[in-house]
Chains A and B, each alone.
Chain A
Amino acid sequence: MSRYHLPQHRNAASRNSGLFWLAGGLGALIGIAALTAYQVRGRNRVEYRPPDDAPIRTSRRQEGRRTATGRTVTIDRPRSELYAFWRDFSNLPQVMENVRSIDVNGGLTRWTIAGPAGQDVTLVTALAEEREGERIAWASTQGSDMEHRGCVTFRDAPAGRGTEVTLDLEYVAPGGELGRWVAKALQAEPHLQARRDLKRLKMLLETGEIATNANRRSAA
């Protein structure tokens, strides 16, 4: 009997002492990490941070239920040409991957957007502001699935580099924070789309085509 019991007993003892050392080691690590964090936090604390010159969309924390996002690209084309391209909304599905169709009907524009999980999202927007060659702003109206505001701004880039195009988007994500994370995981998040769409716009207007690695037309 003892031949079978003794090793078991010993195993239990060594398991206990192993646990002891593991717990001790982890405890020490957590202790050092906490001490370091305390030291770093305690150094040169600043109580109030006045607003800086960076665009709001780049701030680390956003308050309220609206998400502000956007992106700037420099496109080596004249401001007037870029403005004209954008102002004709029917051009936009060429560069906007998730926009299935755009119907312009008088003052209202109906956007059919491929949302996450294969659901289409409809936006009906009205022009909020229009400054020739400088700025186009729009906002969602009653018939929209999502609350949204956006504007695109065109500025001359320094040193003759063309035009800086900034797309600003504000939206209330359907499903709140959770919806935002789901959309991000499915790559349909507005920030990601804004970034990709502006890059496609740049490609089309600078090179006359949109780059693809597809080896065959059917896959492009």
Chain B
Amino acid sequence: MRALTWHGRHDVRVDTVPDPEIVNPRDAIIEVTSTAICGSDLHLYDGVIPGMLSGDILGHEFMGRVVEVGPKSTLKKGQRVVVPFTISCGSCFFCKNTLYSACDNTNPAEKQDMTEALYGHSVSSLFGYSHLTGGYPGGQAEYVRVPFSDVGPIVIPEGMEDDDVLFLSDILPTGWQGAENADIKAGDTVAVWGCGPVGLFAVQSALAMGAGRVIAIDEFPNRLALAKSKGAEVIDFKRTNVLEALTEMSGGMGPDAVIDAVGMESHGFAPDTVMDNIKQNIGIGADSAHALREAIMCVRKGGTVSIPGVYGGMLDKFPLGALMEKGVQVRSGQTHVQRYLPELLRRIGDGELDTQYMISHRLPLEQAAKGYENFRYNQNDWTKVVLKPGTQAN
């Protein structure tokens, strides 16, 4: 089959690789019909996530048709499914408590050593996202082996388009959980850093959860316009001092909740960003966190910081003093995708959540490398890229 493989920093290619097979009893094989490039794939593209090997197949947002099932899978051939990016067993302590991204049993035992050394405990596996989280081949491919297929995939009713439901695999539940973690009370003011797909879904989710105002922060006019179209007020951080603006826009108090939908490759020319980037370049620091630092400075006293953005390692110059002195609570985590799927599928079906509007480009799988390059370097125009393995280049 054809698949998008990683070969190093800024080097991804569509290669021919062996087709996957059923390996374990609960597996299924999915023929991919749509798969997206995620903002967090850019962290792999930029080489800032450790534990990548040359030849790894990327992609963790995908859906398709079931073409083969193992004896213990509950799926049936021919069903259309969206597959969560988190791989979860459904039977460990964490899965039983709906903490699916903390699953104990899906990260192969020999892969857990590295994760334990880095994080203290190992976490669930993810598709196509480095050997720290299992080294499972990802979904930017014609076929994917889906382990524990009786727990993850959600069956999609015929009649709903791929592009309506594809984002159930990651970014929609991630934005939703980001808003849920912000502990929003009716009428709250919520600030969201980053108007990429997760930030946009966080805006929509926060409003759906009763936020009075949502203020979205980015620098790209097209992305800010998308946030505005979904009901947010916007701040261009290249134009405006964010701390002062947010304080003024919230009656001098600061937002009740702040959401960092940016993650470890924050940009914006600030001294801490430069230092973080130097450390990323020489390999002694994984994370650049200007947005998170700013969010902690901006949140009101006793407020909530929610971090759906991805971080991988260590961070310094962290405003722990502001966190402690202002009595702020922090909530974070990879998304427990399975927890949210039925509810979010219903909301899409009922027209409560618009999902297609952020897709700027649809490309054949063969042009995936072009998709990565533009999503990385032309962020204003390329807001979300969906790859279609079944289609031909124009």
User: Interface of A with B (CB < 8 Å)?
Assistant: 74, 76, 97, 161-162, 187, 192, 195-197, 199-200, 202-203, 206-217, 220
Contacts and interface: CB of A to CB of B under 8 A. Distances in A.
Contacts of B72: 208-209
B26 interface: yes
- Considering the complex of A and B, which 10 residue pairs feature the smallest CB-CB distances, nearest first? A196-B109, A199-B109, A215-B20, A209-B24, A213-B136, A207-B89, A213-B135, A203-B105, A220-B23, A206-B91
Nearest to A220: B23
Contacts of B148: 207
| Most interface-central of B93, B112, B125 (chain A CB within 10 A) | B93
A203 B105 CA distance: 5
Given A199-B109, A208-B26, A213 B93 contact: no
Interface of A is mostly: loop
B18 A203 contact: no
Nearest to A203: B105
B21 A213 contact: no
A212 B105 contact: no
B242 interface: no
Interface of B: 18, 20-26, 72, 89-93, 96, 104-113, 125, 134-137, 145, 147-148
Contacts of A196: 109-110, 112-113
B92 A206 contact: yes
A217 B23 contact: yes
Contacts of A195: 109, 112-113
Given A196-B110, A207-B105, A207-B148, A213 B134 contact: yes
Contacts of A206: 89, 91-92, 104-105
Contact of A216 (B20, B107, B109, B111): B20
Contacts of B89: 203, 206-207, 211
A200 B105 CA distance: 8
Nearest to B18: A216
A196 B107 CA distance: 11
Given A199-B112, A209-B72, A216-B18, 17 more contacts: A76-B93, A97-B109, A195-B113, A196-B109, A197-B109, A203-B89, A206-B89, A209-B24, A211-B125, A213-B135, A215-B23, A215-B137, A215-B145, A216-B20, A216-B21, A220-B23, A220-B24
A208 B111 CA distance: 19
A214 B92 contact: no
B1 to A, nearest CB: 10
